[in-house]
Amino acid sequence: MAGNGSDRGSFWRGLLIGGFLGAVAGILFAPKSGKELRSELKQKGAEAFDEAKEFYSETRVKAKAILEDARRRAEELKKEANRQLAEARLRAKEVLRGAEEKTTEVSQLAKEVIEETKTEVKKVKEAAEAGFDAARQELSKKEDKNKTKT
């Protein structure tokens, strides 16, 4: 326990001596007075502030130019997209118009084929009826011959 008290005393003594020597060294080795140092710090602070303002202005101008360029490019892309969309719509209308024309042509051809088929069916029906009539007449004649023979 006795060693504990002397350790504390040594610590405080070392602290006081070290603090005093540090203050003396600071005064002896300080290149400028406090007034000069404050003046230089103010000057350096003002220079740093001016540089920061200049950097901010330059950055703002560059950012504005970048944004303007981005807007211009976006507008160009929008115009190009609208142009291509209009072309696609025009092509789609042309394709639909062509499809409608083909549908009309096919429909007309189908009507013509149906009419021709109806005409041909009518002819076949008439020919069949004529053939049946002729066959009936022949049968009738044969039956009449057979009756007369008997």
Digit-coded pLDDT (tens) for 18-59? 877 887 777 667 666 667 767 776 888 888 888 889 999 999
Count of structural domains, the chain: 1
Domain assignment of residue 27, yes or no: no
Per-residue confidence (pLDDT) for residue 145, from 0 to 100: 77
- Cα angle 134, 137, 138 (rounded to 5 degrees) comes to 85
Spatial separation of the C-alpha atoms in residues 39 and 44, rounded to whole Å: 9
Range of the domain at 102: 41-149
The winner for highest mean pLDDT among 7-11, 18-22, 105-109 is: 105-109
- Banded pLDDT at 100 (limits 50, 70, 90): very high
Considering only CA atoms, which of 143, 146, 124, 147 is closest in space to residue 135?
Answer: 143
Domain assignment of residue 107, yes or no: yes
pTM: 0.41
The residue whose two tokens read 């051809």 is 109
Q: pLDDT over 70 for what percent of the chain?
A: 89
- Banded pLDDT at 69 (limits 50, 70, 90): very high
Q: Which residues, 6+ apart, have CB-to-CB distance to 32 below 8 Å? A: 40
Q: Which two tokens stand for residue 65?
A: 């130019």
CA-CA distances (angstroms) from residue 69 to 64, 66, 76, 91?
9, 5, 10, 33
SS3 letters across 15-75: HHHHHHHHHHHHHHHCCCCHHHHHHHHHHHHHHHHHHHHHHHHHHHHHHHHHHHHHHHHHH
- Banded pLDDT at 111 (limits 50, 70, 90): very high
